[in-house]
Amino acid sequence: MDFLLSFQLSAPEIILAVAGLVLLMVAAFAGNKSAQTVTYLAIASLVAAGAVVVELFTNDALSQGADAWSGLYRMDAFGNFTKLLIYLATIGCLIVTPKFFDAKGEYRPEYPVLMIFGAVGMGIMVSAVDLMTLYIGLELSSLSSYVLASYSRSDERSAEAGLKYFVLGALASGILLYGMSLVYGFTGSTSYLGIRAALADGMGTGALFGVVFVLAGLAFKIAAVPFHMWTPDVYEGAPTPVTAFFATAPKVAAIAITMRIALDPFGAQSDAWQQIIIFAALASIVVGALGAIGQENIKRLLAYSSINNVGFILVGLAAATEAGAAAMLVYLAIYVAMSLGSFVAVLMLRDKDGNQVENISDIAGLSRSHGLLALCLAIMMLSLAGIPPLFGFWGKFVVFQAAVQADMIILAALGIAASVIGAFYYLKIVKIMYFDDPADVVEAKGETSRWVVLLVTTIFVSPLGYLLTPWLGDLAARAASAMFFVI
C-alpha cells in the first residue's frame, strides 16, 4: 500500500479531522468566548478542504479515480462532486448560525466543531467502497447530528428532537448493520467490488434480504417513505440553523451513499432493488405533498417538502442508468441551494421580541412590510414547486427525462402528476405573503451575512441559474460516469 498516495487522496478528511481536533482544544482552553473565532477557523478549514477536493477533481493524472487505504476508500469524481456540495452547505450553515444562538446566549465553540466532525464523517461516507468504511463514516456523521439536534438547552422541543432522532437513528443503524452482515454472510466480502463480483451470476434469497435491509436503513437517512416519520418532528424541534444543516449536507451524503451502494455493489442486480426504489420514490412524492398541505408550521412544511423532493431524486436512481445518476446530482445541487435559501429566509423571520416566527399565518402580508425577504422566500417556494422559469424546474426536468430514456414512462408520468399536488402548498405560502391581510408580526432584521447567503442562493435558483446548466451538467455527467467505471 502506498501510504503517501493514500494520504494525498484522503487529504480533505485529514485536513478536517486535524482542524476539528485543534479547534476542540481551542474550545476547551479558551471557553465560550472563542466561539466566533472557532467558527471562522472552521469555515477556513472547510474552504481548505474544498480547495483540495477541487485540485483532485481537476487533476488529469487522477481523472479515473484511485483507491486508498488498501481499497477501503476511493477518490473519484463522484465523491469529489458530492463533497463540494457538502462543504458548501456546511459553510453556508455556519455563516448564518452565530446570531441565532447569540440572542439566547447559547452559542458555544463546540457547535462548529461538531459541524466539522460531521463533515468528516460525510466525506468518508461518500468515498467509502467498503461496508465497514461506510459504517464508520455514517456513525461519525450521525453522532454529531444527534448532539446538534438537541443543542439548544433552553428549548424542550430541541431536547425532544435530539432524543427522537437518536432513538430512531440507532434503530436505522441497527437495520443497516444487520443488512450489511447478511450481505457479507452471503457474498463473503465487505468490499463493493467483492460484493459485485459475488452477485454477478445471480442473487440468492439471503443476499436479497441483505439488500432490502441495507436499503431500508439508508431510506431512513434520506427520509424516504416509509421511513420518514422522524423528519417533521426533528425539523420542527431542532434549532433552525441545525434544521438547515440537516436539510442540506447530511441529505447530500445520504443520497450519495444510497446511489453508490445501489449502483456499485448491487449494480449487477438492479432488477432486485428497482421495485423498492420505485415504490419509495412515488410514496415519498405523494406522502410529502399530502402531508405538507395541512401544516401550520413552516419548518414542518419544509420537512415534508424535503420528503417530497427525495422522491423526485429517487426517480433518477430508479432508472439505474448513467443519465439517471447525473440527473440526481444536478437535482441535488439545485436542491441544496433551494433548501439553504428557504431556511435562511425562515431564520430572518423574527417578531418584535426577537423570537423565531414559525407559524405560516404570521407571515401574512409579508410582502408589504418586507418586500425583498418576501420575494426571496417566494422564489424559493416556486422553485421547490418546480415552476418554470425558476431553476428548480430544471432539476425535475432532467430527472424525469432520465426516467423516460430508461423506458420508465409510467413512473415519469405518475411523478409529474403527483408534483401538481406539491405545488399547492408552495403556492399557499406565496398567496399568504402577497394577498392576505398583514399580520404585522414579523420584524425582520436580517444581518449582512444572512442576506449574502440568501441572495446568492436566490440568484442561483432564479432564471439566471440556467446559465450554469452546461457547466453543472458536465460536472454531474463526469461524476456519474465514475459510478459506472467499474462496470
Q: What is the pLDDT of residues 199-232, one digit of tens each?
A: 888 788 888 899 999 999 999 989 898 888 888 9
Give pLDDT, residue 65. 79
Instruction: Tell me the backbone φ, ψ of residue 386, rounded to 5 degrees.
Output: 80, 30
Position 486 scores a pLDDT of: 52
Asked if 391 contacts 383 with a C-beta cutoff of 8 angstroms, the reply is yes
Reported as a single tens digit per residue, the pLDDT across 46-79 is 999 999 999 988 887 777 778 888 889 989 899 9
CA distances, 469 to each of 259, 310, 465 (Å): 22, 21, 7
Q: To which H or E segment does residue 75 belong?
A: strand 73-75
**pLDDT, tens only, 5-41:** 888 889 999 999 999 999 999 998 888 888 889 999 9
Q: Which residue has the higher pLDDT, 189 or 487?
A: 189
Secondary structure letter of residue 128 according to DSSP: B
Return the percentage of the chain with pLDDT > 90, whole number: 48
**Predicted model pTM:** 0.93
What per-residue confidence (pLDDT) applies to 485?
60
Residues 290-331 have pLDDT tens digits of 888 888 889 999 999 999 999 999 999 998 889 999 999 999
Grid coordinates given for 330: 444536478
Q: Please give the residue that has the higher pLDDT: either 236 or 483.
A: 236
What confidence score (pLDDT) does residue 487 get? 44
**Would you list the domain boundaries of the chain?**
3-483
- What was the pLDDT predicted at 343? 93
The arithmetic mean of pLDDT across residues 110-126, rounded, is: 93
Give me the residue label for grid cell 469529489.
80
For the chain, the straight-line distance linking the first and the last C-alpha, in angstroms and rounded, comes to: 24
- The distance from CA 250 to its chain's CA centroid, rounded to whole angstroms, is 4
> Which pLDDT does position 175 carry in this prediction?
92
Bridge partner residues of 113 (DSSP): none
* Helix boundaries (H) for 97-229: 98-102, 110-127, 131-149, 156-187, 192-199, 205-222
**How large is the average pLDDT for residues 401-412?**
90
Question: Shortest CA distance to 385 belongs to which of 312, 480, 450?
Answer: 312
Distance of alpha carbon 280 from alpha carbon 265, whole angstroms:
20
Q: Which amino acid is at 91?
A: I
